[in-house]
Structure 1
Amino acid sequence: MLEELILAGGTTVVGAMATDSWMAARDGVARLFRGRGEDRQAAIEAQLDNNAALVVRAADAERARRSLLPVWLLELESLLDQHPDVAGELRELVSEIQRRLPETQRAWVQNNVAKDGGQVFAVQGGNVIVHQTPPGQEGGSAEAR
């Protein structure tokens, strides 16, 4: 359940970059880090500002957002590992920001097609690791995270 929240949080943060919803998202994320042990709020605010500037300057904003997603997944995962009580606040923030986002930033769509005996291994916002064995041998697996 927390993995889904982390993914929703990360995609919402990067999805809001360079949109009219950005300041609300930025302030909300900074608020999550406020008063949580070490003083990370100033560093998080600087990181948010720098990341948003990268998206604004990028020739392909969506590619920039995809590149920044793993950073925010790690930041949010670390925050929730250290402060699990933040989960409710993060859920509320994600809902609030998603309501404010432009329609194109609310969901990511992925279409996968396998034909003629082909295989598709797909995941959004994570990794797919495939270990295949030659036909007739046991032990091949596909793992999605």
Structure 2
Amino acid sequence: MTDELTLLAEAGATAVVATMATDLWRSTKDSVLGLFRRGAPERGDALAARLEENAALVRAAADSEEVRRVLCGVWARELAELLRREPACRTPLARLTADIDRAFATGRGTFTLEQNNTARESGTVFAVQQGDIHTTHTTHAPDRPDRADGGTRAV
């Protein structure tokens, strides 16, 4: 793994762990789970439980900064492994890290993802945030008999 990816994993871990026990935690946790589900969807539930256990440790700790320091090392390794397995996670992790940094820098307790989608004139919109979407083209659309040319549907 390159030094750049190692630094990204460390920055991502620092940002993620910093949000534990804050108003940013819920949206951060969902984003992190989305990243890990790209590479190993079957790990989702176990990973969600680990993240919640770690956040509970931070909330309950007498010295939350010490707990965060320890957890940063753990999550830096997890994120480094994710980046090794799934290089496509690099950009979303960098974006998440930047969003968290910006939220803390502006004093906002939360960050918001906004998405506007419009379909016009028999158009179709497939939209997703913090994840992947896969579509397939069908030769017919049984649920849309008015579309003789076939259609595309989300799976």
TM-score higher than 0.5 here?
Answer: yes
Give the corresponding residue for 1:84.
87
Give the corresponding residue for 1:8.
11
Q: Is the contact made by 1:20 and 1:101 (CA closer than 8 Å) also made in structure 2?
A: no
* Structure 2: stretches of 5+ with no match in the other structure: 108-155
Does residue 42 in structure 1 map to residue 45 in structure 2? Answer: yes
Does residue 28 in structure 1 map to residue 28 in structure 2? Answer: no
Cα displacement (A) at 1:38: 5.1
How has the CA–CA distance of structure 1 residues 67 and 39 changed in structure 2, closer, same or farther, with 3 Å as cutoff? same
> In 1, distance between residues paired with 2:104 and 2:55?
15
Does residue 67 in structure 1 map to residue 62 in structure 2? Answer: no
How has the CA–CA distance of structure 1 residues 86 and 21 changed in structure 2, closer, same or farther, with 3 Å as cutoff? same
Give the corresponding residue for 1:143.
none
Cα RMSD between the aligned structures? 1.7
> In 2, distance between residues paired with 1:66 and 1:24?
21
Give the corresponding residue for 1:55.
58
Cα displacement (A) at 1:20: 1.2
Cα displacement (A) at 1:70: 1.1
1:16-55: CA deviations, max 9, x gaps?
A: 1111111111111011011424511111111110000000
- The residue identity in structure 2 corresponding to 1:89 is P
The alignment-based identity, stated in percent, is 42
Cα displacement (A) at 1:102: 6.5
* Structure whose alpha-carbon radius of gyration is higher: 2
Q: Is the contact made by 1:9 and 1:76 (CA closer than 8 Å) also made in structure 2?
A: yes
Cα displacement (A) at 1:4: 1.4
Give the corresponding residue for 2:22.
19
Cα displacement (A) at 1:7: 1.1
Give the corresponding residue for 1:97.
100
TM-score, normalisation: structure 2: 0.63
> In 2, distance between residues paired with 1:98 and 1:44?
23
